[in-house]
Amino acid sequence: MTGKVWEYITEKLESEGACHFSLLDPDPLSASNDYIVSIAELAEKAGTDAIMIGGSTIFGGIDDAVKAIKEAVDIPTILFPGNITGVTEHADAMFFMSLLNSSNPYYIVGAQALAAVRVKFSGIETIPMAYLLIEPGKSAAWVGEAKCFPREKPKLVLMYALAAELLGYKLVYLEAGSGAEGGGVPPEIISVVAQYSDLPIIAGGGFNDAESVVRGVEAGASIVVQGTYLEKNVQKDKGAGLKKIVKALKDAGSKRL
């Protein structure tokens, strides 16, 4: 059930117009928990609004990584699970998400059913979120067997976003895939969804600079997610670049109030 984190998000959107979320992927093959924690701390200092934790290639339990991040930051920690391996009770909330354009029902409702008893009885806050994969989709599309939306077909995405709204989801995530090239989700897709749907839009995948982030907000995204940018930059410059990006996002957001 939605709760404090959802209230935090909606209040932020009402007062600031847009939010920046930082995605951390606790993959023990490429990053230690200390490294992940240091990125989370720098992102919080730079002004990000929440830390999302997850990915499509989680190789094991993420309990320790989530506990360590939650201890280190004051902003909300939100699970972004690509599968049942991404579930833990230790975050503040969880995007209870469905990959609506998967061609395999496992990613639409099967994994969710397998996790549901544990999630329900753990008491963790859940935020129902429709997850839509747009080309190139990257690892998330490969793992999730998605029939990715072509980048030049905004109306196909709109059909699914409207279905998500009518089905009762609280958010729609327009995802181009982590590490996507091409400047993030096409603004034409974001703007048509924003024009006709009342759901707040999260956009992610390839937003690697302030220009693309601002373009996303101007097109109608309520939340822009950055993952790869953080991995590549925040330790190097101690979060100075991210601080500028968050400021640019907030300036663009304030124009929507």
How far apart are CB 57 and ligand 1GP at their closest, in Å? 11
Which of 251, 255, 243, 252 is closest to 22 using CA atoms?
Answer: 243
3-state secondary structure of 183: coil
Radius of gyration for the alpha carbons in the chain, expressed in angstroms and rounded: 16
Of residues 11 and 136, the one with the C-beta less far from ligand 1GP: 136
Looking at residue 148, the DSSP 8-state letter turns out to be P
- Cβ-closest position to ligand 1GP: 204
Q: How far is the CB of 146 from ligand 1GP (least distance, A)?
A: 12
> Shortest distance, CB of residue 205 to ligand 1GP, whole angstroms?
4
Give the binding site for ligand 1GP (CB under 6 A): 23, 175, 178-180, 204-207, 225-229
**Cα gap 114→26, rounded to integer Å:** 22
Task: Give the length of the chain.
Answer: 257
- The least distance separating ligand 1GP from the CB of residue 242, rounded to whole angstroms, comes to 12
What's the CA gap between 93 and 146, in Å, rounded? 25
* 52 or 73: CB nearest ligand 1GP: 52
Of the pair 108, 122, the CB lying nearest ligand 1GP is at 108
Q: Which residues contact 245 (CB under 8 A, 6 or more apart)?
A: 20, 46, 209, 210, 213, 226, 229
> Which lies closer to ligand 1GP via its Cβ, residue 120 or residue 149?
149
- In the complex, the smallest distance separating the C-beta of residue 5 from ligand 1GP, rounded to whole angstroms, is 18
Nearer of residues 61 and 183 to ligand 1GP, judged by Cβ: 183
Whether the bond between 136 and the residue before it is cis, its omega within 30 degrees of 0, is yes
